[in-house]
Amino acid sequence: MISLTSPVRTRAHSWPAGAKLGALAVAGIALFVFDTLPAQLAAFAGMLGLYALPGRLFLRTGMERLWVLWPFVAIIGLFHLVTQTWFEGLLILLRLVTAVGLANLVTMTTPLDDMIAVIRWLATPLRRFGLNTRALELSIALVIRILPTLIDNGQRLIQSWRARSRRRPGWQIVMPFTLLALDDAEHMADALRARGGLVDKKGDFDGT
C-alpha cells in the first residue's frame, strides 16, 4: 500500500513518533501565539530549511506534497486581495503553509507502523470506557486489506459501464459498488466468526 512517507531514510525516521508528534503540537501552538511578521517569516524559513536538510530528493518530494495546498492559498489570497487586507492575508498564508509543512514533515519521517503504535497507545485509556482495542487494531488492518479490493471492484464497474455506454461513468456506479462491498462484508464477517471471532470480555468496539 502506498503511503506518504519519504523516499529517503532520514535521521528523523528513528526518532520516537510520540516525541515528533509532541514537538509538532508545540510548534502548532507557537505559530498561533507569535503572530508577527518576523516570527512567521522565521518559522516559514525554518520549515523550508528542515526540508532541505536531508537532501534534494527529500526536498523535492516534500515540496510536491505541499503543492496540493495551492487552491487553498489561492482562495485565501484572493479574498484578502479583494478586501485589501493583504498584510493580514500574508500572515495567515505564511502560518498556514508553515503549519501544514511541519505536519507533513512528521508524516514523511514516521513509518506507518510507528504511527499505528501511537494510535494504539492513545486508545489504551479508552479500554476503561469499553472500547475493544483489539477490534480497533483489527479494523485498521481490515481497511488496509479491503481498500485495494474495493478499488478493483470500482474499476471493473467503470470498465463494464464503458463497454455498454458512450457516456462517462457517473454516480450510478456507486450503488452496485456499495452493494458488492456489503456482500463481501457479510462473507468476511462469517469468515472471522469461523476463525474464533473477536471475543473480548472487556466490551465491544461497537459499544453493543
The two most distant CA atoms of the chain are separated, in Å, by: 66
CB of 106 to another protein, least distance (A): 6
Of the two residues 4 and 53, which places its CB atom closer to another protein in the complex?
4
Judge contact between 6 and 109, C-beta under 8 A: yes
* Whole-number Å distance between alpha carbons of 24 and 26: 5
CB of 53 to another protein, least distance (A): 18
β strands within the chain, DSSP E: none
CB of 208 to another protein, least distance (A): 7
Of the two residues 41 and 119, which places its CB atom closer to another protein in the complex?
119
- Bin 3: left if φ > 0, else alpha if -120 < ψ < 50, else beta: beta
Cα–Cα distances (Å) from 186 to 138, 146, 171, 190, in that order, read 16, 13, 24, 6
CB of 14 to another protein, least distance (A): 16
Of the two residues 49 and 207, which places its CB atom closer to another protein in the complex?
207
Of the two residues 41 and 177, which places its CB atom closer to another protein in the complex?
177
